[in-house]
Amino acid sequence: MSLPEPVRPEPGAFLLEEIREQPAALRRLLAHEAEFADVAAAARRSGRTLVRLVAHGSSDNAASYGVYAFGLLPGWTALRDSISLTVYSGARLDLTGSCVLALSQSGQTPDVVDYVQRARAAGALTVAVTNDPDSELGQAAEAVLPLAAGPERSIAATKTYSSSVAALALLAAHASGRSREFADGIARVADLIDEALPALEGRVGELAVTFAYVGRMFVIGRGTELPTAREVALKLLETCRVAAEPMTATAFAHGPVAALDALFPVWAVAARDENLAAVAEAVARARAAGAGVVATGSAAAELDATYRLPTPEPPLPLLSPLLSILPGQLFAWALARAKGLDPDRPQRLAKVTLAR
């Protein structure tokens, strides 16, 4: 008797499932708040208020958010440090005043682990931010902040990205004495995502069919939404084969706008903050060049865009990226399917990058 063929999931089923799991992942992260309090207290006691963030891919996009979180909350200097300078070029830096935050979903990226080992030997307080506390990275660092996002079966990261952003916000909030406010804010964001996802899913499905021809795109944002622009561009690159380039709304005017035409659309991320005017100006330039514009974020309705995918107003402005990433994640999923691709299995990519 022949056995029945195993049921194969629909293309992109895992990615969509993990996008939908983000609220639950954020709530699980909050259950580990004590670890965040301990790390923030250790950094304050030791005077290590120079934060060095190291990561690759989606984790690096989250790290770029950390520059804003630590700068705006405790007023600490945070930077995305060069892994190459230390690991490959052999620079010997004095890191005694630094707190190193190494972000890796898997905790297995060799040069991130190597950087942490070197940084610890050079006097830094080293912290792993990972979905696998028992990984090589978790063992190399002095402290571990678990993302608690659960297994990711799709190669393209979604819930580990948003959990990394929330982790950096929560750690910065603890460092600034605003932990309760931000923990409550993240919990509220989880509820808002649950409420917003069904309508967004329906709208991006329609939009993806319209954009099935797209092979290139600019993705613009500014301030705390520049990390969102970077992550949306990465999702489009890896799942849809779209040559998407992220940039600030101001950099957009210095050359890139000259490349636009009716077949070169723009994705604009807009929050209702001090950067909105610059994003609105960039959108106006894109429209004048004949490009279609998709506006997303809490201030999407205030832009002169061709299409709008607004997201809810965040309870705290700094938490806006947890909501503004949703349309981009869903659009990448839907556009890949519209192009006949499987967004769960991008060509030539693996879940864990082990090669140096």
Active site residues: 351
Closest CA to 172 of 231, 246, 224: 224
At 330, the amino acid letter reads L
Q: How many residues does the chain have?
A: 356
Q: Are 120 and 126 in contact (CB under 8 A)?
A: yes
At 300, the amino acid letter reads A
What are the two backbone dihedrals, phi and then psi, of residue 209, each rounded to the nearest 5 degrees? -60, -40
123, burial (CB in 10 Å: exposed 0-12, middle 13-18, buried 19+)? middle
Query: Hey, what are 276's tokens?
Result: 């909105």
Residue whose entry in the numeric block shows the structure tokens 């929050």: 271
What does the alpha-carbon distance between residue 267 and residue 286 come to, in Å, rounded to a whole number?
Answer: 10
Closest CA to 57 of 181, 198, 237: 237
Closest CA to 279 of 290, 289, 268, 263: 268
What does the alpha-carbon distance between residue 333 and residue 346 come to, in Å, rounded to a whole number?
Answer: 11
**Terminal Cα distance for the chain, rounded:** 48
Query: Hey, what are 170's tokens?
Result: 């929560």
